[in-house]
Chain A
Amino acid sequence: MQRFIIEREIPNAKDLTQDQLVEIARTSNAAVESLGVPYVWAVSYVAGDRIYCIHDAVDGEAILEHARRGGFPANKVTPVVAEFGPQTATA
């Protein structure tokens, strides 16, 4: 599986309520489940006018298919080439 960062442009995303996030998560889960291919939605971050999502999938096509099924924009889909953090310094 490949990890991807997906940028979704949603005007005023920062104002989404908890109820709306619940609704979006339900829709996304249903889309993931319907794909019929290995797919993991890891986490998403809401920031300003964007939502940044971390997903694991076999290919970019599956990422776009998930977006279509959820009715979400996927303005930019980029494969993650490396992950690192504070612990990387001691590795």
Chain B
Amino acid sequence: MAIGSSPAGTWEGTYTRTVRLVERSAEVGVLRAALGDARDGDGSAVAITGESGVGKSSLVDALAAETVGMRVLRAHCDPLDTPRPLGPFRDLRLPDGADGPTRGDTPLSELCDLVYESVRREPTLLVVEDLHWVDAATVDVLRFLARRVGSMPLLLVVTYRDDEIGPRHSARPLLGDLASLDGVVQLALAPLSVDAVRELVSGTHLEAERVHAVTGGNPFFVAEVAKDPDRPLPGSVRDAVLAHTADVTDHDFEVLQLVAAAPDRLDDRALPHLGVDLPTLRRLQETALLTRTADGLVFRHELARQAIESTIPPGGGSELHARLLDALQAIEPSDPAVLTHHAVAARDHARATSYARRAAEDASAAGSHSEAAAFFEIALEHLESSDPEERARLLLDLAYQQYMTSRLSEAISNVRATFRLWEQAKDQAGLADAHAAVALFEYYNAHRARAEHHSDSAARIALDAATPHTYGAARATQGFLAYLRNDLEQARELAAEARDLAERNDLGLLGLRSEVVATVSDLVSGDEAARTRLLTQLEAARDRGWDELASTVYSQVASLDVEHGRLRDAEQLLQVSIPFASQRDIPICRHWQTGVRARLQFQRGRWEAALEDAATVIGDEGMPLATLWPRLVSVLVPLRRGERAELGILDDAWSLAEQIDEPLRRLSVLGALAEAAWMTGRSDPRVSEYAVAQLAVLGSCPGAEWGAGHVGAWLRRLGLPVPEVARAAEPYRLVDEGRVAEAARWWRRLGDPFAEATAWTDSAVPEDRARGIRLLDSIGAVGTADRHRVALRQEGSVVVPQRPRESTRANPAGLTNRQLEVARLVARGLSNSEIAAELFISPKTADHHVSAVLTKLGVPHRRAVVVDSARFGLT
């Protein structure tokens, strides 16, 4: 006879919850159905919400008991002050084939793949409880799974207390996804009714109405009361829990307090160090407060833990935490996140700093940057050393994590705080590095002048300090900034100098970076072959694992593609680059490229998709630099569609452009201001004076042909004097020469239907203008079309097209990004199940998307999408 199959064995049985499930039959029904579907390969997600003690876990227990033939994976988030990065997934101990269970520093992308591979092979119920304590990296993994859940035999269940998740909580993005995804069910658990309470207290002399009044119908509280029906009714959950400890000795009670002080779990291996023997555990079993996980001792319920924790006298906690710390650090492998928690609570500053630093490094390696930042903050807060260099390094580490989590202002002020420290330490190389770091942060924060100042300082200091690596990096940054302000000669000179340095000192990354700076300078000045060279450099960077450089190349090429009308190329690039930035955990590039896509979709006349991206970028509060085009898009789309637009946003964009102070950025905003002036009829001195005066200067910059052509076209429509622009891009030149049909063909080839329409409306021939108006109507730009209708009528023309009725305005402009993806696959002739496989969604969801696409495109069947794919801009 075998007694147990694992150490988790026998105790489970003796500690099994005695809570009965009442008044949850509707919820059980929903979960049961979802479980059945998941077993058949049609996965879904369920969010169970409600207050503490309302029975979320009990409901999951009931569900887990029904999973015949399915694997059950259950994990909890733990209530440490700073959660363990990926704690729930690490606790699951999924084997990864090569190295055994996942370790603390398994990178996020690997873990996503690992979990994905694991759950799609085998029907699985995956439960992650207590999301109100979740870490940011676990949220990323859950989002990854939630988006694909429809294509897997997986029921994903998450539980949380919804009143504890505020707008800036790590779990927010996941809840947003869950709210918008098809096939996600929310189960909000309500407290019990009097009748349900009566059922639970039946067989005792307790009066259901009184118990209901005292407990508010909280099932945990009711169950605690029902366990001890002969005692006076407790006034609170705490009293109810503590009532079970009335007969516990002081020695044993202290063990309860120790467990309460270890909110994740008290690791079994710490018990010998803590002097807790088996007879003690057996006695505590009588209280029914504790249970055992696979490897530790925990409270059966968080409310019970809190009740015991509340009995620890003020000041008594630090002694308990010090004992836990001593016991836990003797265990290998120890978890620095847990040790940090206890060291902080024990007020042990030296160990708090050293464990927090280790926890931060693990978190960073795992891609969990918000937790990494939190741990570096703890390390700094407890740092006792007076060594300026040590403090400066921690500050720089913290700043980098803040940069990775789009907290640029904090990152900048933390790097600045190191300047004084490096000087104290007489460390010029460190000082130069700090200036180089802050230069980039300032640029992303849209302060180009400050960025230049710091990159100049970095170069100067590094030259004095004779550190070629830092000096070269600073020169490359200076070159990059010069390229951005279209000072290409200087950009190339600086890049060449950095490249020489890189070659002499064998610095591969710097060498490639310098080449990129030189090549983007070539591309912006119109050398289209430079694009191929950049893509080769990009591949080289990817091959060598220089992900940030690769992602930067994507960012620049995509941005210049859109700027220069290579819209289809940009589209292809962004389809690869945005997932790359997400997978390689480079949020700043993802943010930027989503902003570029907002502009791209805008120029392709896909208003809904453009607005969606714009809102994402503006809402992300990452780097201000990325928000310029999204701001323009969020005003111009409603203007073009004849909806209410918040014109004030253009003022913000203008201030931002002034701060960034780059020709291409200024031209973008001037174009938008001019269009808004034309649409609203309001005069704007930034257009009538500044643009008129500066266009010739701005337009003479290399690479400004398209931006300047665009502004010139709007000035002309406004009847303003148009300064001679050295070179306007081809389609603008064609309109100037009155060759509107050729210009319209150009725009059609590029895939910019709005510009195509406005080429026609720029014509002097009324029939051409009527054609332009119909085109504007067909892409939903009725606001712009209406302005032309008014003008054309005023001129007495008889060919003014009627405003279309609402119902006939079906066109690709209304497709969201997801629907666009689906539409492209439909256009390629894929079936619903092929689309489902391609997008990791269930065939049912694919079916919904395809129906929505057909409705929005106003076509009766999918064949029409294939036939008309060019007209819909899907090729």
Which residues of A does B touch, CB under 8 Å?
4, 11, 27, 30-31, 33-37, 60-65, 67-79
Is the Cβ of A67 less than 8 Å from the Cβ of B1? Answer: no
- Summed over the interface, the residue pairs from A and B with CB atoms below 8 Å come to a total of 70
Which residues on A sit within 8 Å (CB–CB) of B1?
78-79
25 cross-chain CB contacts under 8 A: A4-B3, A11-B100, A27-B269, A33-B272, A34-B271, A34-B272, A35-B277, A36-B280, A37-B277, A60-B10, A61-B10, A61-B278, A63-B3, A64-B9, A69-B268, A70-B269, A71-B268, A71-B331, A72-B7, A74-B4, A75-B6, A76-B5, A77-B2, A77-B4, A79-B1
> Is B295 in contact with chain A by the CB < 8 A criterion?
yes
Would you list which residues of chain B between 252 and 279 have a CB under 8 Å from chain A? 268-269, 271-272, 275-279
List 9 other contacts, CB 8 Å, given A34-B277, A79-B1: A4-B3, A34-B271, A36-B277, A37-B278, A61-B11, A64-B9, A74-B7, A76-B2, A79-B3
Is the Cβ of A62 less than 8 Å from the Cβ of B3? Answer: no
Closest 8 pairs between A and B when the two form their complex, measured CB to CB: A36-B277, A34-B272, A60-B3, A68-B268, A77-B3, A67-B7, A68-B7, A71-B269
Which residues of B does A touch, CB under 8 Å?
1-7, 9-11, 100, 268-269, 271-272, 275-281, 292, 295, 331
| Shortest Cβ gap from A67 to chain B (Å) | 4
Is the Cβ of A31 less than 8 Å from the Cβ of B277? Answer: no
Is the Cβ of B10 less than 8 Å from the Cβ of A64? Answer: yes
Select from chain A the residue with minimum beta-carbon distance to B296: A68
Is the Cβ of B10 less than 8 Å from the Cβ of A34? Answer: no
Is the Cβ of B9 less than 8 Å from the Cβ of A69? Answer: no
Select from chain B the residue with minimum beta-carbon distance to A78: B2
Is the Cβ of A37 less than 8 Å from the Cβ of B10? Answer: no
Select from chain B the residue with minimum beta-carbon distance to A71: B269
Contact with A73, one of B7, B269, B278 (Cβ below 8 angstroms):
B7
Is the Cβ of B4 less than 8 Å from the Cβ of A36? Answer: no
Contact with A75, one of B5, B11, B276, B279 (Cβ below 8 angstroms):
B5
Is the Cβ of A35 less than 8 Å from the Cβ of B278? Answer: yes
Bound Cα distance from A21 to B269, whole angstroms: 18
Select from chain A the residue with minimum beta-carbon distance to B292: A68
Which residues on A sit within 8 Å (CB–CB) of B4?
60, 64, 74, 77
Is the Cβ of A34 less than 8 Å from the Cβ of B7? Answer: no
Which residues on B sit within 8 Å (CB–CB) of A61?
10-11, 278
| Shortest Cβ gap from B268 to chain A (Å) | 4
Select from chain B the residue with minimum beta-carbon distance to A67: B7
Which residues on A sit within 8 Å (CB–CB) of B295?
68, 71
Which residues on B sit within 8 Å (CB–CB) of A62?
278
Is the Cβ of A69 less than 8 Å from the Cβ of B269? Answer: yes
Which residues on A sit within 8 Å (CB–CB) of B277?
34-37
Which residues on B sit within 8 Å (CB–CB) of A4?
3
Is the Cβ of B272 less than 8 Å from the Cβ of A37? Answer: no
Contact with B272, one of A30, A63, A73 (Cβ below 8 angstroms):
A30
| Shortest Cβ gap from A81 to chain B (Å) | 9
Is the Cβ of B2 less than 8 Å from the Cβ of A73? Answer: no
Select from chain A the residue with minimum beta-carbon distance to B267: A71
| Shortest Cβ gap from B341 to chain A (Å) | 21
Bound Cα distance from A74 to B11, whole angstroms: 14
Bound Cα distance from A63 to B100, whole angstroms: 25
| Shortest Cβ gap from B566 to chain A (Å) | 54
A36-B272 contact in complex given A61-B10, A63-B3, A77-B3, C-beta closer than 8 Å = no
Bound Cα distance from A67 to B9, whole angstroms: 11
Bound Cα distance from A54 to B581, whole angstroms: 55
Bound Cα distance from A68 to B5, whole angstroms: 13
Select from chain B the residue with minimum beta-carbon distance to A35: B278
Which residues on B sit within 8 Å (CB–CB) of A11?
100
Is the Cβ of B271 less than 8 Å from the Cβ of A69? Answer: yes
Query: For A61, A62, A68, A69, which residue has the most chain B Cβ atoms within 10 angstroms?
Result: A68
| Shortest Cβ gap from B279 to chain A (Å) | 5
Which residues on B sit within 8 Å (CB–CB) of A67?
7
| Shortest Cβ gap from B627 to chain A (Å) | 51
Which residues on A sit within 8 Å (CB–CB) of B10?
60-61, 64
